[in-house]
Amino acid sequence: MKKIFIASDHAGYNLKSSVVSKFSKLQKIIDLGPNSNNSVDYPDYAKKLSKRVASNKGSFGILICGSGMGMAISANKTKNIRAALCYSIKNTKLSRLHNNANIITLGERLINKSKAINLIKIFLRTKFEGGRHLRRVRKI
């Protein structure tokens, strides 16, 4: 079973708690914080999670903030990380099929809990197509 790491900032804390509750029944999910909705800096949590995903081959990450954008920008600074801001079924599937994304980022202020859970399920079960996409991903 692949490791799944999750983290948020204060603006994503409530959605993170819901995701942990939902997915911990299905598989092991490693919560890297924070442990409350007190104000924190999202780059700290993006970096912490990104390093864990990068050092655990085949693992996935879930990052949640208000928009998902700050987490995506921060996470993508780490070598071998391909973080994708996901907001629809199509862009979530394509992030895995074509880009081999290993971190999904979500915006608690932009999508509801059931949509977020659905997007995470799609992200985790969609396989990278490889082929012509592999050549391109290697150039990143």
Contacts of 46 (CB under 8 A, 6+ apart): 7, 63, 70, 71, 74, 75, 83
Burial class (CB in 10 A: 0-12, 13-18, 19+), 105: buried
For this structure, is 133 an active site residue?
no
Q: Which residue of the set 48, 98, 121, 133 is catalytic?
A: 98
Contacts of 104 (CB under 8 A, 6+ apart): 60, 61, 62, 63, 83, 84, 86, 92, 95, 119, 120, 123
- Catalytic residue set: 98
